[in-house]
Structure 1
Amino acid sequence: MEPQMLDHRLAQEHEELRRTVEEFAREVVAPKIGDFYERHAFPYDIVREMGRMGLFGLPFPEEYGGMGGDYLALGVALEELARVDSSVAITLEAAVSLGAMPIYLFGSEEQKREWLPRLCSGEALGAFGLTEPGGGSDAGATRTTARQDPATGEWVVNGSKCFITNSGTDITALITVTAVSAVGEDGKKEISAFLVPSGTPGLTVAPGYSKVGWCASDTHELFFDDVRVPADAMVGERGRGYAGFLRILDEGRIAIAALATGLAQGCVDESVRYAGERRAFGKAIGEYQAIAFKIADMEMRAHFSRLGWRDAASRLVRGEPFKREAALAKLYASEAAVGNAREAAQVFGGYGFMNEFPVGRFYRDAKILEIGEGTSEVQRMLVARGLGVG
């Protein structure tokens, strides 16, 4: 019998994409992003270039303006961007896996043809309105409501959402919102999803948050006060909004794992460089075993994070179950990113506490990865349930 060989290398088209995005991140993003980060400003010029490269359309078919790629391609791009900066990476991640993907997976043909070409080109951004104040991980406790006006057929949305990425930029075109569309006699909520175009009367975008990290990304709280949308604004089947968005979150965890892997690897890149340049007590600090072993452990975490998200993405692309693998990848990679950011700051010493150095930004950006798109506690719960315990 011929031996079966596992090959974890990227296919040629994915490797070419990786190199292209790596060069873009190094030559375009790296020199500029620190200034945007310090000013808490959204990097429109960088986003436009990403649009011209086709990054926002990576996993979507060409018939809708996409690049005809897959979720593995999106992960490759996210990892390379996050090796340099997470604000840019999360802008892409949220725009694709949260903003456009619900329309692609669950939208009508008319919705796809109306919205996806603009979203795939990067000309417009979409946002994902799920999290609510007081809700957090309990997304099923949705309080935002949508009632149908019997006279016009329009849906009238009332409520609020919080921590919504890409929801208040000059190019934000729409927000997909989950809302309670009915309550059964048993008190069970029927949750549906609705497209709310930016600028719709009654939609208020609050001022941007003052955040610890991701300071060059766009994040807002949203308020809906009798926001009226047409009857055909519903995304997918009535009452299937919550189930649909659980699927979106499963896929999004793979994307966040790829992003976290990029941050973890960026910490290694910066630490290796600095350990070779910085001298103490007569020699480069990388020659000291304490520093060398620290960096070796960082590389270990980045390496296995990469294997984890690529395995989950490959299962998704092949049409196989991937929920457990996505949770494992997101859990491990996010905690690896936090660990590597902490250790990189230690390698850099006092300079690791300065925002002018990438590791200072990495340190501020890492923690949210253990929280967003499912906390580490939620991931452990999902893995445990899959094993029949917990």
Structure 2
Amino acid sequence: MSASPDTGEQERLILDAVDRFLERHVRPVAAKLEHADEYPAEIVERMKELGLFGAVIPAEYGGLGLRPSTYAKVIERISAEWMSLSGIVNSHLIMARIVDRMGTEAQKRAFLPRFATGELRGGLALTEPDCGTDLQAIRTTARREGDHYVVNGTKTWISNGIFGSCFALLVKTDPEAQPRHRGMSMLLAEKGPGFRVGRRLEKLGYKGIDSAELVFEDYRVPADRLLGGEGQGMACAISGLELGRVNVAARGVGVAQRALDEAVRYAQQRRTFGRPIHEHQAIALKLADMATRVEAARLLTEKAAQALDRGDRCDYEAGMAKLFATEAAVENSLEAMRIHGGYGYSKEFVVERLYRDAPLLVIGEGTNEIQRLVIAKRLIERNRI
């Protein structure tokens, strides 16, 4: 899908601004913050100023109104510099997209402008201690009492859980419903009495971003915060996760590209047996495979993002992009480490961070095993005999 000249110019200006932001405010401090697992508060303030928390929120509600294909390019750049920052944006914008697609006009006008400025920031609260991929098995309940819902339950692995203040919360309003998804609903839940952070979760990689357990104990939510109506919780989640999967695919492209860049640079600097190591066939073959994976991942991600631009259903395209790009990130990060040899295992080089960050991508926003099942199902649906 070709962009108009005006759209292309807007994209160029946005990407140039993102590049300057990364060079000035992220690159000098990313390694220090990541190794300390410190929340990047100053960077988040800069992200607010840049408008990134309103990236895909329509302009009429105060956002930048970026097309998903432009947003994907923004995320690729951010992830190549420090992947954790893209997660701070992603979970928040999934919540915003759900409100934009499933919310009432009153809900949009009440929340989207505050989401766009970052005044109200948060994410998506789906996962529970005993349920990840099988969302229909959630146990968090919301019981209607007058003009409120009373919520009880626990969510875990929630991005922005500590520093965020509002979450799209998946609950069971009818635990006995069959099929189970008909008893699921989604509420916009702002922090308040009965809503607390249980604990901060430590991780192998993906550091800096606050991943947390959220606990709800007789937490009361106004009934007008219900999104899409009772029984529409799964539909709400799906409406946001397509954008989320494009985001994660773009993260995969960014990590895979950075791994390639670091490997290409090091392969020209490091010499063995009297010549740069890129002249050794074993290294040259690795570099060729890494470059091919990056290009293929980027093209798949662009195709999925362009389907979102058109408003098409894109679980097939987004699933393929997420699957391939995230596996490319894992493979390229490992190959970059191997090309660097012992130095790749050192915290002095960025490749060790890429190696720790990449595995999250094959798990987050639906495991890659789930993506394969979605792809196969849609493939058959498109090719019935």
Task: Quote the residue 1:222 is aligned against.
Answer: 214
Counterpart check, 1:293 vs 2:285? yes
Give a deviation string over 1:203-229, Cα, whole Å, max 9, x none. 121221110011111100111111011
Question: What stretches of structure 1 move > 6 A for 4+ residues in a row?
Answer: none
1:253 corresponds to which of 236, 245, 250: 245
Contact 2:33 2:39 in 1 (8 A): yes
Give a deviation string over 1:27-46, Cα, whole Å, max 9, x none. 32111111111111110111
Question: How far has the Cα of 1:295 moved from its partner?
Answer: 1.4
2:187 corresponds to which of 186, 194, 200: 194
Trace 1:55-94 onto structure 2 (pairs within 5 A).
55-94=52-91
Task: Quote the residue 2:226 is aligned against.
Answer: 234
Structure 2 stretches lacking a partner, 5+ long = none
1:128 corresponds to which of 104, 124, 127: 124
Counterpart check, 1:111 vs 2:107? yes
Contact 1:181 1:192 in 2 (8 A): yes
Give a deviation string over 1:65-95, Cα, whole Å, max 9, x none. 1012221121111000111111111111222
- The amino acid across from 1:109 in the alignment is E
Trace 1:237-386 onto structure 2 (pairs within 5 A).
237-386=229-378
Aligned counterparts of 2:99 and 2:267: Cα–Cα separation in 1: 47
Aligned counterparts of 1:186 and 1:13: Cα–Cα separation in 2: 48
Give a deviation string over 1:324-372, Cα, whole Å, max 9, x none. 0000000000100000000011111112112332111100000010001
Aligned counterparts of 2:348 and 2:117: Cα–Cα separation in 1: 32
Contact 2:95 2:240 in 1 (8 A): no
Instruction: From the superposition, tell whether residues 185 and 366 of structure 1 become closer, same or farther in structure 2 (CA, over 3 Å).
Output: closer
Aligned with 2:165: secondary structure? strand
Question: How far has the Cα of 1:184 moved from its partner?
Answer: 4.7
Give a deviation string over 1:119-158, Cα, whole Å, max 9, x none. 2123331211101111111011111100011xx3210001
- Higher mean C-alpha displacement, 308-317 vs 272-281: 272-281
Question: How far has the Cα of 1:159 moved from its partner?
Answer: 0.6
Aligned counterparts of 2:266 and 2:31: Cα–Cα separation in 1: 18
Contact 1:72 1:317 in 2 (8 A): yes
Contact 1:17 1:76 in 2 (8 A): no
User: Normalising by the residue count of structure 2, what TM-score does the alignment of the two structures yield?
Assistant: 0.93
Counterpart check, 1:23 vs 2:20? yes
Task: Quote the residue 2:154 is aligned against.
Answer: 160
Aligned counterparts of 2:47 and 2:178: Cα–Cα separation in 1: 48
Question: How far has the Cα of 1:16 moved from its partner?
Answer: 3.3
Aligned with 1:206: secondary structure? strand
- The amino acid across from 1:102 in the alignment is I
Aligned counterparts of 2:52 and 2:330: Cα–Cα separation in 1: 26
Contact 1:58 1:73 in 2 (8 A): no
Aligned with 1:355: secondary structure? coil
Trace 1:131-150 onto structure 2 (pairs within 5 A).
131-149=127-145
User: Normalising by the residue count of structure 1, what TM-score does the alignment of the two structures yield?
Assistant: 0.92
Contact 1:55 1:77 in 2 (8 A): no
Aligned counterparts of 2:26 and 2:256: Cα–Cα separation in 1: 18
Question: What is the percentage of aligned positions where both structures have the same residue?
Answer: 38
Contact 1:14 1:76 in 2 (8 A): no
- Higher mean C-alpha displacement, 358-367 vs 180-189: 180-189
Q: CA RMSD in A?
A: 2.0
Give a deviation string over 1:172-216, Cα, whole Å, max 9, x none. 221111111014565745111111112x11112122111001111
Aligned counterparts of 1:131 and 1:280: Cα–Cα separation in 2: 49
Give a deviation string over 1:5-60, Cα, whole Å, max 9, x none. 999x9934323323332332233211111111111111011111111111221211
Question: How far has the Cα of 1:380 moved from its partner?
Answer: 0.4
Aligned counterparts of 1:355 and 1:74: Cα–Cα separation in 2: 30
- The amino acid across from 1:154 in the alignment is H
Contact 2:83 2:357 in 1 (8 A): yes
Q: How many residues align?
A: 378
Question: How far has the Cα of 1:320 moved from its partner?
Answer: 2.3
Task: Quote the residue 1:47 is aligned against.
Answer: 44
Instruction: From the superposition, tell whether residues 122 and 355 of structure 1 become closer, same or farther in structure 2 (CA, over 3 Å).
Output: farther
- The amino acid across from 1:340 in the alignment is N
Contact 2:83 2:251 in 1 (8 A): yes
Aligned counterparts of 2:45 and 2:95: Cα–Cα separation in 1: 17
Structure 1 stretches lacking a partner, 5+ long = none
Aligned counterparts of 1:49 and 1:383: Cα–Cα separation in 2: 38
Give a deviation string over 1:209-268, Cα, whole Å, max 9, x none. 110011111100111111011111212221101122122112211111011100100111
Aligned counterparts of 1:85 and 1:173: Cα–Cα separation in 2: 23
